[in-house]
């Protein structure tokens, strides 16, 4: 059974866009840390909080699936930020998938989603 992540669940609306998690990738359970060769996507969702998806950077199939998922997230309007080697997020947005990026955080801040607004 394939897993999905709900993105853009606007309050009060029926919009439920889904990003499919490829079968070769795994959801990281709470409290666990990624293993040595695992890279990580953190995807911010309103329904489940931050979902963590891990993939092995030595497995070409998983890298390809991770790229597909990366592109799917961008298509849904999520914005990827790379986590730097010193453990802090860089201020630059990633333009394309980088298999060397140890960690990527996806935020729902694009204009397409329209979730960011003045209060």
Partner 1 sequence: MVGLAPATGYGAVIEYGGTNAITTPVTGIRYASVTSASTIPVRTMGSWGIDYATGDSVTNWLEVEQEWGGVYDPQSGWVQYHPKPKTMAERIKEIIAARNAPAFITNRKALDRPHDIRELRARETLCRVIGEEKYRRFLVQGHVTARAKSGLVYQIFPGHGITSVYDKGKMVERLCVVLRGDFPPTDSLIMRYLMILNNEENFRSYAIKHHVPQSLWPENLEQIVEDAKKNSRPKTLAEIYSDIKTGKHARIGEVAAHMREAA
* Interacting residues with partner 1 (CB under 8 A): 9-11, 30, 42, 44, 46-50, 52, 81, 83, 86-89, 91-93, 103, 105, 107-109, 114-119
Report the C-alpha gap between 12 and 27 in whole angstroms.
28
Instruction: Say if CB 62 and CB 68 are below 8 A apart.
Output: no
**Which residue lies nearer to partner 1 by CB, 68 or 98?**
98
Looking at beta carbons only, is 11 or 14 nearer to partner 1? 11
Contacts for 102 with CB less than 8 Å, ≥ 6 apart: 39, 40, 83, 85
* Nearer to partner 1 among residue 24 and residue 110 (C-beta): 110
CB of 61 vs partner 1, minimal distance in Å: 27
Q: How far is the CB of 59 from partner 1 (least distance, A)?
A: 24
Please, what is the minimum distance in Å from the beta carbon of residue 78 to partner 1? 11
Is the CB of 64 or the CB of 84 nearer to partner 1?
A: 84
Q: 81: which 2 tokens?
A: 């930020």
Q: How far is the CB of 114 from partner 1 (least distance, A)?
A: 8
Contact between residue 49 and residue 65 where contact means Cβ atoms under 8 Å apart: no
Residue 117: CB partners within 8 Å, gap ≥ 6?
none
């Amino acid at each position: 059974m394939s897993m999905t992540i709900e993105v853009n669940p606007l309050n009060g609306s029926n919009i439920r866009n889904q990003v499919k998690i490829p079968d070769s990738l795994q959801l990281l359970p709470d409290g666990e840390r990624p293993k040595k060769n695992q890279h990580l996507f953190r995807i911010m969702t309103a329904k489940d909080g931050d979902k963590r998806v891990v993939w092995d950077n030595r497995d070409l199939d998983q890298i390809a699936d991770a790229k597909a998922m990366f592109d799917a997230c961008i298509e849904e309007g999520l914005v990827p930020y790379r986590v730097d080697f010193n453990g802090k997020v860089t201020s630059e947005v990633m333009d394309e998938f980088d298999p060397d990026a140890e960690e990527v955080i996806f935020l729902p801040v694009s204009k397409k989603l329209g979730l960011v607004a003045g209060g």
